Chains A and B, each alone.
Chain A
Amino acid sequence: MVSEISPLEIERNAGNFAYPETHLHDAGVGLTEDTIHYISNIKEDPAWVREFRLKALQTFLSKPMPTHWASKDLEAIVFENIRYYLSSGTQAKRSWDDVPEDVKRTFERLGIPEQERKFLAGVEAQFDSEAVYSNIKAAVGEQGVIFVGSTEGLKNHPEIFRKWFGKVIPTGDNKFSALNSAVFSGGSFIYVPPGVKVKHPLQAYFRINAENFGQFERTLIIVDEGAELTYMEGCTAPKFNTATLHSAVVELVAMKGAKIQYITVQNWSANVFNLVTKRALAHEEAEVKWIDCNIGSRLTMKYPGVVLKGRKARGEVLSIALASNGQHQDTGAKMVHAADETTSNIISKSISIGTGRATYRGLVHVPKHLKNCKNNTECDALLINSNSRTDTYPAITVRGTGNSVQHEASVSQVSAEQIFYMQQRGLSEAQAMSLSVNGFVNDLVRQFPMEYSVELKRLIELEMEGSVG
């Protein structure tokens, strides 16, 4: 039998701790022009940024909630009750020794400095609104790679930053991209010069510590011609009774022949609304791969996209969503083909446990004038219990004659016979469930970097053990 204190709880508790707040800067609750000025003043924004924010606020206020197609649960977000900026300074430290003690302890408990030593080329650690630590290994920095926070990026590298900022995802793309554009703080700015292949991943870790809070990081990554980068992000927050909002905007630009791999393991606590816009622009012969794993949060809405702008560009989204009791993972992918011979591949696997709900939304667009474009979409859903739910909304428009598209979808349920068979071999019910679910996602997980596939398998095991008995 499964013990009453399931390892799932222990795992949730790994991120479920908070230190008392000691913020120097707090924009207070609610969102008005004053909030924007407060943030701009603290961050000493250039005038164009302040203007950009103010305009975005108007866009945000004018846009309705997307509840005509999305979950009504969005209405539970009370924008007036959220605090939009909390920090103890805008300058990220280059050494963990300079990071305030309780913040440093937070990241140590999450294992970040250890991972940095082991296999990362650089780390940025964000605590509430600002990065508290940001460092890149000297050897990588010497190759001309820039890895800083968004504020530092826009101030110190305006010639690259301004050229692309808001160009892949315009302010008015959706209500939450507008919100982010108004109050953004933190996130990464990365530039990889032509031909530089960054061997080890750069990682960002986003930590929410405060209650009634919204985190709005803004990430802009430009990988120049023939260069390569792998970027990973992780996130956790303590579980509060009130709703927490996380609304990021991530823009990627892959220049000619560049390769970007962007990996997310999202493990927010179950009170977090995670409403994120992620999109990449792929120039000629560039390759962009999003690996997107959603395990935590109350409601996630996220559809990483690639605009295939140059000939022979290639876009890929590998998505795994695990929706446990009370969670809704509304995830998917967007592929916009805008040049000949572009290819895209979407593989989505979702697992719904108990009352958990997984939704797949996919958009694939190939206009009529293009030739030799290809898309492959596979989305598979696994239901663990009879009350679990999954929905699939694929929207594929492929016009013209020289293009091909392939779409496969399946829904399956873990069968009682399969579980009995495994139990008969000595595995507990929870182990059997976990093995079955890991089998379901196995072909996808095998494509992940080693460290992440191990972590993901472990998370699935823990989640399954908690779902049984």
Chain B
Amino acid sequence: MNQLEIQNLHVTIAEQEIIRGLSLAVPKGEVHAIMGPNGSGKSTLAKVLAGHPDYTVTGGSVLMDGEDILALAPDERARQGIFLAFQYPSEIPGVTIANFLRAAVQSRLPEGEELEATDYYAALYEQMDRLEMDRAFTSRSVNEGFSGGEKKRNEILQLAMLKPKYAVLDETDSGLDIDALKVVANGVNALRGPNLGVLLITHYQRLLDYIVPDHVHVMVQGKIVMSGGKGLALELEEKGYDWVRDDIAEPALA
């Protein structure tokens, strides 16, 4: 199956269950948004998909194009095509963006094959231009001293360079002013197409004005409680998350 498929996923951290039987499928070529209140487990889901070692999967499966990826190390998943744009990207002092991305691109090549430097830089500059990033950025240390907006742009730059099959964008809109948000959204929109599935995680509807999703899911207490078209986001914005909570109170107790 050409989709990222999460089936009845259960996840704990420090013996506390955060994700409680979540199911969701993101087919290639589609953009799905997950919205939800703080503490609903959205960011946990993003990290679990990427294989963060702090979380324990106690049940369920995650299939990428039909293959279970939960047993794979984070770097193996990444090379097989899953990308996470971090909410809080790490700083790597002394390692330039150019060298870091080069190592990342190189890691996807078959053994013994060397990345051609000129091709690499041509691709890098093209993507940087698209994201309106100054080329001087390539020689800066990864995320070190970056503003919130610069960090998010850098995440999207990496997304563009690494060409994953599925991208999870965790609160990519947080900390961005409206101009930066537009640039980042344009960057993501340019990558949309039949070969990429996107899972957008966001607290606010605002991002979805610029990256218009095909489907919207609402996550509360570790589960998808409601799914719909792009209109659902607007409805949520208007009525607030309490509306969903009230709505699910009965069945959740049943």
Using CB atoms and an 8 Å cutoff, list the residues of chain A in contact with chain B.
1, 415-418, 420-429, 431-432, 435-436, 438-443
Contact = CB atoms under 8 A, between A and B. Distances in A.
B93 A425 contact: no
8 contacts: A420-B52, A420-B53, A421-B89, A423-B51, A428-B75, A431-B103, A438-B94, A438-B95
Contact of B75 (A426, A438, A443): A426
B89 A427 contact: no
Contacts of B50: 420, 424
Q: Which 9 A-B pairs have the closest CB atoms?
A: A439-B94, A439-B95, A442-B94, A421-B90, A426-B107, A425-B104, A423-B74, A423-B75, A426-B78
Report the interface size class on chain B.
20 to 34
Interface string B86-127: 100111111100011101100110000000000000000000
Interface of B: 50-54, 73-75, 78-79, 83-84, 86, 89-95, 99-101, 103-104, 107-108, 141, 158, 162
A94 to B, nearest CB: 41
Nearest to A418: B90
Contacts of B86: 421, 424
Nearest to A444: B94
Given A418-B91, A421-B89, A439-B93, 5 more contacts: A420-B52, A421-B92, A422-B92, A427-B107, A429-B73
Q: SS class of chain B's interface: helix, strand, loop or mixed?
A: mixed
A431 B108 CA distance: 13
Contact of B93 (A422, A426, A440): A440
Contacts of A424: 50-51, 74-75, 78, 83-84, 86
Contact of A441 (B54, B94, B103, B162): B94
B40 to A, nearest CB: 22
Given A416-B53, A420-B52, A435-B100, A427 B75 contact: yes
Nearest to B93: A439
B100 A415 contact: no
Q: Which of A1, A435, A439 has the most CB of B within 10 A?
A: A439
A417 B141 CA distance: 16
A438 B95 CA distance: 8
A420 B84 CA distance: 11
B162 A418 contact: no
Contacts of B75: 423-424, 426-429, 432
A435 B100 CA distance: 8
**Most chain A CB neighbours (cut-off 10 Å) among B75, B78, B79, B93:** B75
B100 A417 contact: no
A425 B86 CA distance: 11
Contacts of B89: 421
B197 to A, nearest CB: 17
User: Which of A420, A436, A443 neighbours the largest number of chain B CB atoms within 10 Å of its CB?
Assistant: A420
A439 B103 CA distance: 13
Contacts of A443: 94
A431 B95 CA distance: 13
Contacts of A428: 73, 75, 107
A188 B9 CA distance: 68
Nearest to A443: B94
Given A1-B73, A416-B53, A431-B107, A423 B78 contact: yes
**Counting chain A CB atoms within 10 Å of each CB, which of B84, B89, B95 scores highest?**
B95
Contacts of A421: 86, 89-90, 92
Contacts of B108: 426
A416 B50 CA distance: 14
A319 B92 CA distance: 22
A417 B90 contact: yes
Contact of B74 (A420, A436, A439, A441): A420
Contacts of A416: 53-54
Contacts of B103: 427, 431, 435
A407 B204 CA distance: 47
A415 B90 contact: yes
A231 B95 CA distance: 29
A290 to B, nearest CB: 22
Nearest to A415: B90
B92 A435 contact: yes
Contacts of B84: 424
A122 to B, nearest CB: 34
B140 to A, nearest CB: 12
Nearest to A442: B94
Contacts of A441: 94
A425 B83 CA distance: 7
A443 B92 CA distance: 13
Contacts of A431: 103, 107
Contacts of B83: 424
Given A436-B92, A440-B94, A425 B78 contact: yes
A439 B141 contact: yes
Contacts of A426: 75, 78-79, 104, 107-108, 162
A423 B75 CA distance: 5
B221 to A, nearest CB: 26
Contacts of A435: 92, 95, 99-100, 103
Most buried by B among A422, A435, A441: A422
Contacts of B162: 425-426
A405 B89 CA distance: 36
B235 to A, nearest CB: 33
A350 B89 CA distance: 26
A425 B51 CA distance: 12
B49 to A, nearest CB: 10
User: Quick one: which of A425, A429, A439 has the most chain B CB within 10 A?
Assistant: A425
